[in-house]
Structure 1
Amino acid sequence: MSMPEPKTAWRLLKSAGVKYVRFVIVDIFGRPRVDILPIDEAKDAFIDGVLFDGSSIPAYGGVNRSDFVAMPDLDSVYIETWNGGKTALIFTSVMDGSRPSLRDPRNVLKSALETVKARGYKPLLGVELEFFLVKGDPPMYADGGVYFDGHLLHTWPVLEEIMEHFHLSGIGSTKTHHEVAPGQYEVNIPAGDPLEVADKVLAFKILAKSVAQRHGYTATFMPKPFWGINGSGAHVHLSLWRDGENLFASVKEPREELKYAVAGILQNAIANSVFVAPTVNSYKRLVPHHEAPTRIVWGLGNRSAMVRVPYYGGRINRLEYRHPDPSMNPYVAFASIVFSAYMGVEKRLEPPPPVDTVAYELEGVRETPRHLGDAVKYAQESALLPEEFVKPYLALKEEEWLSYLKSEGDWEKTWNKITRWEYNAYLVNV
């Protein structure tokens, strides 16, 4: 289906009762920045784009070169039905003069996908996105539930409303359940083109936070808001297609193409860590025995491994990368994941043997970085993504790490507790 003409898209939204348009510019951290226009004033922006000051959004531009244009992507429009349907979210891609800006995370993902698709591959990607419902400051989880808990008297109205608007807003169909930790839930972002899925991740975060706030809760995508219980992951499920065939589909034994992709992801896992686990708090999730990976290994149906190949009844059709968490910039994370898998297939990389033991007990294998500072260092040595994006991104992540150390002291003294600095930085901001 082709993208609608700008005037047609504007007319359809106006006739549907939309009063305001929120044009979304994604910042370097994956957070939505919005320019809000009444529907009549938005008509020109549909055609000519949104003009903005790039020097006021980290890493886009300096004060001496700050005039940017964000062009609406009319394939990525979501109606805020949770707010009465009077507002539309429209994602944009930023132009730097006549070319797409690679400071824009959406353009980074677009560039990676163009490379992969030019070789005849079609990646499909979905995400299991976990989050907490919390109350208060310091926060406490909203319930004492357990995995698949069915007695959610207080929080079910929140989940019910989120589920309803997930569908009505155009994000798609999903399922949800209570996760292992108290106050923790999971939704599935349906599989699709990675750019579309990344947009849906941001749209869902906006939806969930708005609905939760209306009920007196905070929906937080902070990876590890509470020590001693499971943190939240963003498990990425990936398949690679060519000429209408799923290259990962098999029965009992993994196909070579799947193993090559696994090898590419594992080989680049350390360098990609800062993109898929991008916060100080991310590395407090990546500790043993809480269903988060610490060893860079893979296995069939093994949830302690970094890459799990789902193996229900011996059928295989995708891989699951368990390293990412919901604080990720989904565009940058997906670009690094897809490109790593693609490189593995193209180079026919061989992975190590799969493991069927609990991976946390393995010795002599590579491990995830200890903390954000190490993750920044490793990415500087071998990042796969465009330098135009990576250089300012890593500089900002280095500042984030140093700010934490200045506030809280040595990592060795704080790695096993959640600090006030982290709540201030991440509880509502990721």
Structure 2
Amino acid sequence: MTNLEMNANMLVDYLQKPTTDFTKEDIIRFIREKQIRMVDFMYPAADGRLKTLNFVINDATYLDTILTCGERVDGSSLFPFIEAGSSDLYVVPRFRTAFVDPFAEIPTLTMLCSFFNKDGEPLESAPEYTLHKACEAFRNVTGMEFEAMGELEYYVIAPETGLFPATDQRGYHESAPFAKFNDFRVKCMHYIAMAGGMIKYGHSEVGNFTRDGKIYEQNEIEFLPTRAEDAADQLLVAKWIIRNLASQYGYDITFAPKITVGKAGSGLHVHMRIMKEGKNQMLADGQLSETARKAIAGMMELAPSITAFGNINPTSYFRLVPHQEAPTNICWGDRNRSVLVRVPLGWTGKSDMSVIANPLEPKNAYDTTQKQTVEMRSPDGSANIYQLMAGLAVACRHGFEMEEALKVAEETYVNVNIHKEEHKEKLNRLRQLPDSCAASAACLQEQRAAFEKHNVFSSKAIDGIIQYLQSFNDASLRQELENNPQGMAELVERYFYCG
């Protein structure tokens, strides 16, 4: 179902069509009639950050040329797996990603691009194309669609005023004036929505502290589930917007997984649902469906190697430590925030809560089954978002290819506090997530066949990820820095602007 009313994206509102239906003719018409003067191409490199190529619109013919043919870029400067001797790549805009740059003084239309090789074929190892292949393989194997959305957590850092100090590590859903950056977050949300991001909500998060005259406040912006390819695009653009707006405000921003010991780290939780003919397949008769449990089983099986896409610098593994809210045990459960895969509270009750809260309202017939998701809680802001989403799509597909998926789901289900002494035996039977980039690389090497199956991840991409993770040489780093605050501070500074 497509609803064009009240859409924040200026192109959707003006063209009166969903982004999936945008054509080159639509883009040109919008540029003409809205007097756009510049076009920007944006695309992510291996560091996960968006790169920009600016075009001034010389004339109508040139505009048509860049929209049709794209442009050349130096692939060796973007990706380590591309050699300088044969490095030219094409970047070609995806019209469905078009948005008006909210920061540009000169009216500018921005689009995300796909990479193509010298023969005009999609670049096999490009993260964006890897995600496309993962979603296609999921569809071919299951006959269903893989959808996702992210929870983007970040810290805002600014000078401390001393007024209305927040309660340390009690910032969850705090209101102003105790939460200092609600207005900033709301403006970020507005700009993200203008750029096509489908936002669910935003709020302040648990983490807050003061240090060296600065306040550190954790915030979160959560999205709505959509096609995984679009979900990844939206998260990438959102991070770019948050950083740019923070720069204008004079704030500092970090998506780093851990910035100090003893305070809440930032994750990038990913919710998933599986759709068929517009219907959510995660529930059956008010209970978690067999479809959902098979997908969860796949994530249980491949969880150790998913960290190779979702936790890709050494500070990631200072967040993934035992007995804290971030998970380390490979298990799943209902509404349990210590498990790796959580089944959030769903709208499966029989009562009409809206009518109870608002007695004048008539009984509604809203299909609440659409809201049920499952949540992977290990990833963080260091992740290569496209590769992470692709890895999750592979894992969920893998669950449908496993012979004993439902048995695996049953054996890894946990409905208790696993850290209590009486559940020690259950805890000891569970596998653990890797504790370093080096360990994640080893897990990916061991399980790489599942990711290379159906030609989703190229062998070159897997080799590159493994080499990158091994380069940190961090197998014993967590133990080495356990009682070394200065060393930990230096590590945090090195990876402060990750992702």
Q: TM-score, with normalisation over the residues of structure 1?
A: 0.90
| CA spacing shift, 1:129–1:415, aligned 2, 3 Å | farther
In structure 2, the residue matched to 1:250 is: 284
Deviation larger for 19-28 or 68-77: 19-28
In structure 2, the residue matched to 1:380 is: 445
User: What are the ranges of 5 or more consecutive residues in structure 1 without an aligned counterpart?
Assistant: 137-141
Q: Report matched runs for 1:86-165 at 5 Å.
A: 86-96=107-117, 97-119=119-141, 120-135=143-158, 146-152=171-177, 154-165=180-191
| CA spacing shift, 1:44–1:210, aligned 2, 3 Å | same
Out of 255, 259, 264, the residue aligned to residue 221 of structure 1 is: 255
Q: CA deviation at 1:88?
A: 2.9
Whether 1:319 aligns to 2:374 is yes
In structure 1, the residue matched to 2:194 is: 168
Q: 1:237-256, CA deviations, whole angstroms, 9 ceiling, x for partnerless residues?
A: 11112233322123553211
What is the CA–CA distance in structure 1 between the aligned matches of 2:321 and 2:158, rounded to whole Å? 25
Over the matched positions of the two proteins, sequence identity in percent amounts to 23
Out of 451, 475, 481, the residue aligned to residue 414 of structure 1 is: 481
| CA spacing shift, 1:13–1:359, aligned 2, 3 Å | farther
Q: Report matched runs for 1:24-423 at 5 Å.
A: 24-40=42-58, 43-83=64-104, 86-96=107-117, 97-119=119-141, 120-135=143-158, 146-152=171-177, 154-182=180-208, 183-250=217-284, 253-312=287-346, 314=348, 317-347=372-402, 349-350=405-406, 351=409, 352-361=411-420, 362-383=427-448, 384=451, 385-399=457-471, 401-402=472-473, 410-414=477-481, 419-423=488-492
User: What are the ranges of 5 or more consecutive residues in structure 2 without an aligned counterpart?
Assistant: 1-17, 160-164, 209-216, 350-368, 421-426, 452-456
CA RMSD of superposed structures (Å): 2.4
Q: CA deviation at 1:112?
A: 0.8
What is the CA–CA distance in structure 1 between the aligned matches of 2:110 and 2:418, rounded to whole Å? 42
Q: 1:103-131, CA deviations, whole angstroms, 9 ceiling, x for partnerless residues?
A: 21000001111112224211111111111
Q: CA deviation at 1:148?
A: 1.1
| CA spacing shift, 1:154–1:147, aligned 2, 3 Å | closer
Q: CA deviation at 1:48?
A: 0.5
Q: Which protein is bigger by CA-based radius of gyration? A: 2
What is the CA–CA distance in structure 2 between the aligned matches of 1:371 and 1:62, rounded to whole Å? 28
Q: 1:238-286, CA deviations, whole angstroms, 9 ceiling, x for partnerless residues?
A: 1112233322123553211111111000100001211111111111111
Deviation larger for 317-326 or 195-204: 317-326
Q: CA deviation at 1:83?
A: 4.2
2:101/2:107 contact within 8 Å kept: yes
Out of 421, 425, 428, the residue aligned to residue 494 of structure 2 is: 425
1:82/1:165 contact within 8 Å kept: no
1:130/1:185 contact within 8 Å kept: yes
Q: 1:20-40, CA deviations, whole angstroms, 9 ceiling, x for partnerless residues?
A: 322122212322122122234
Q: CA deviation at 1:150?
A: 0.8
What is the CA–CA distance in structure 2 between the aligned matches of 1:357 and 1:258, rounded to whole Å? 20
| CA spacing shift, 1:69–1:211, aligned 2, 3 Å | same
What is the CA–CA distance in structure 1 between the aligned matches of 2:493 and 2:310, rounded to whole Å? 21
2:47 is aligned with what amino acid? F
What is the CA–CA distance in structure 1 between the aligned matches of 2:477 and 2:288, rounded to whole Å? 44
Q: CA deviation at 1:411?
A: 3.6
Deviation larger for 409-418 or 195-204: 409-418
What is the CA–CA distance in structure 1 between the aligned matches of 2:63 and 2:497, rounded to whole Å? 29
Q: 1:15-65, CA deviations, whole angstroms, 9 ceiling, x for partnerless residues?
A: 324333221222123221221222346542211012111121232521210
1:80/1:86 contact within 8 Å kept: yes
Q: CA deviation at 1:84?
A: 5.5
What is the CA–CA distance in structure 2 between the aligned matches of 1:125 and 1:211, rounded to whole Å? 26
2:258/2:492 contact within 8 Å kept: no
Q: CA deviation at 1:176?
A: 0.8
Number of equivalent positions: 420
2:130/2:390 contact within 8 Å kept: yes
1:412 is aligned with what amino acid? Q
2:182/2:203 contact within 8 Å kept: no
2:76 is aligned with what amino acid? S
